[in-house]
Amino acid sequence: MNRLRFVATAIILFFSTPIILHGQSKEQVRNVVGTYESCLMGCTVIKIRTDFTFSYQPMSDVGEPQIVQGTWKFEETNIIVANTFEQPNKYPFSIKLNADQKGLTVRILDKKGMPIQWAEVHIPNENGMLIAETNKDGLAEFPRCDPRGMTVKQPFSNYVNSSAVFEFPDKDFNYVEAKINFIPLFITDQRWLIQNGKLYFIDSYPISKIK
């Protein structure tokens, strides 16, 4: 009877243990899991869980806070790498060469084909980054260049990664038309340092563990 009680207790303890190990000790995992919070104009809240998932609510002082979910893994004992479940889409675009056009024109539309105003378009150039804002017709104008890609930042977005990235083929063109959706926040291979009960975005400010 005592033996059966011991086995039953062991099974209960085994299945109630919330820590899933991926080659790390329980202590390593416990050192990083928890809820981290920093409140300035608004609150940033990150919850790192023992099942190697996380939720991330970035600071926002307007509207409803956006919360994203993802997975994390160890890079070093106190450095983890985070990726959201949802990553940016490959948005459709078309290119063409207009004979009577001198510069480069980019047109940004939403999924219904309506122009997106005030989107920020970034085009890398050998002399740096060319940046232009779309007008009421969704058009951004650039001088003549040889673009191999572009990044479109969502209007009025506070989120660093709220953008659409395009890679262009090696062809001669001076007009680009792209359709994008409302771009959600995403995190790709973001490294977080956790030390002395604080979470640091690498090269940024710490967020304290609150529980």
The total number of structural domains that make up the chain: 2
Asked if residue 165 and residue 118 are part of one domain, the reply reads yes
37: CATH: 2.40.128.640
Place of tokens 């994008």: 180
Question: 51-99, pLDDT tens digit by residue?
Answer: 999 999 887 655 566 788 999 999 998 999 999 998 877 788 999 999 9
Range of the domain at 197: 18-85+186-209
Structure tokens belonging to residue 198: 């604080």
C-alpha span between 181 and 81 (Å, rounded): 27
Residues 158 and 193 in one domain: no
> Is residue 170 included in any domain, yes or no?
yes
Say how far apart CA 139 and CA 132 lie, in whole Å.
Answer: 9
Residue 68 lies in a domain: yes
pTM of the model: 0.56
pLDDT in tens, 181-204: 766 678 888 899 999 999 998 755
Residue with tokens 């959600």: 184
Q: Is residue 6 part of a domain?
A: no
Can you list the positions of beta strands (E) in the chain? 34-39, 43-48, 53-57, 68-76, 79-84, 93-96, 104-109, 120-125, 128-133, 139-142, 149-153, 163-167, 175-179, 190-195, 198-201, 206-209
Same domain, 117 and 74: no
